[in-house]
Amino acid sequence: MDEIISLDYGSGGKKTARLIEKLILPRLDNPALRELGDGAIVDGGEKLVFSTDSFVVSPLFFPGGDIGKLSVCGTVNDLSMCGAEPKYLSCSFIIEEGFPFSELERIVESMAVQCEKAGVQIVTGDTKVVEKGRGDGIYINTAGIGVLRHPGLGPGNIRPGDKVLVSGFVGDHGTAVMLARNQMMQGEIASDCAALNGLTEAILSVAPGVRILRDPTRGGVATTLNEFVEGTALGIELEEARIPVRPQVQAACDMLGLDPLYCANEGKLLAVAAPEDADKVLAAMKNHELGTDAAIIGEVTERYPGKLTMRTAFGGSRVLQKLSGAQLPRIC
């Protein structure tokens, strides 16, 4: 096999077949992936959840993860937040001509490891190659199917007095990627990139009535919480002092002119729970390896309808808007 990807590997002919046989199948193999040409037969269920994401993160490799790990975790997490048990993924590569096989191999290996951890299978895929200068190394799309285990999660369920929880330190992923991109503070901050289906399962098994779960990726905690209440008669009030932020993430954000509340997370979730459920949800998070630093960070209120506000550490209060521009382009 060559050392770098040429356009021929996107031809749909012999070279594409060789790429799949030699590089991709050895690590991602399963009966459904081998079975059919352009599609995979999977077992359905009564209600399914279907989700997709394209990943264009730059750089491709960063402390705590890479684009391959991200592409599996991202779609697994989207399915999990909908109350589904993630089952099957598709995977499609858009590769820039000249991309090194060695990096593609690392990425595929990383996807394989995450699939095993998350208990999902990649069952169908596609590979395209574009000319040098028409891409940026590699872009990956994954789509996913999950079986709906907990119907009814959604912002419509939120009530005044509900508690807002986060499963751990915020802003790690966005900060880690920005530092890697700027080659600053090498290795001090790692992305939190992780598959959250185990954590959501743990939460929903003790508190099936939880209102909503959501992973605050692009746009961060502040944007996601805004989405919960915008256009409704309810607001959310955060307490700054309760929001877990690593000191080194805060320092890096200060240096880069960023706000951790708007930085992407890839291994954290936000939950809104009724007051009587909040402690159960918190305990379930803290008992799970991905939620040891979980905290109750705020409350649903009728005071500022449609708004996300925060009581600052100094006793003031401010409105946190949705992210309006691209604070951090190509973060996932």
Binders of a copy of itself in range 58-87 (CB under 8 A)? 78-79, 81-82, 84
DSSP E strand stretches across 149-276: 163-166, 212-214, 235-239, 270-273
Structure token digits, residue 273: 């729970």
Binders in 178-207 for a copy of itself, by CB under 8 A: none
Structure token digits, residue 68: 């391959």
Contact call for residue 4 and a copy of itself (CB under 8 A)? no
Nearer to a copy of itself among residue 56 and residue 185 (C-beta): 56
Smallest gap from residue 136 Cβ to a copy of itself (A) = 4
Number of residues written out for the chain: 332
**Binding residue for a copy of itself, selected from 69, 149, 150, 214, defined by CB under 8 A:** 214
Rounded Cα distance, 251 and 174, in Å:
13
Beta strands across the sheet bearing 295-301: 212-214, 270-273, 163-166, 295-301, 235-239, 308-311, 317-319
Binding mask 117-136 for a copy of itself (x = CB under 8 A): ------xxxx-xxxx-xxxx
Nearer to a copy of itself among residue 243 and residue 320 (C-beta): 320
Smallest gap from residue 14 Cβ to a copy of itself (A) = 4
Smallest gap from residue 137 Cβ to a copy of itself (A) = 9
Nearer to a copy of itself among residue 185 and residue 192 (C-beta): 192
Contact call for residue 330 and a copy of itself (CB under 8 A)? yes
Burial of 37 (0-12, 13-18, 19+ CB in 10 A): exposed
Beta strands across the sheet bearing 84-96: 121-130, 84-96, 138-148
Smallest gap from residue 314 Cβ to a copy of itself (A) = 26
Quick one: DSSP state of residue 147? E
- By CB under 8 A, which span of 61-69, 144-152, 161-169, 272-280 interacts with a copy of itself? 144-152
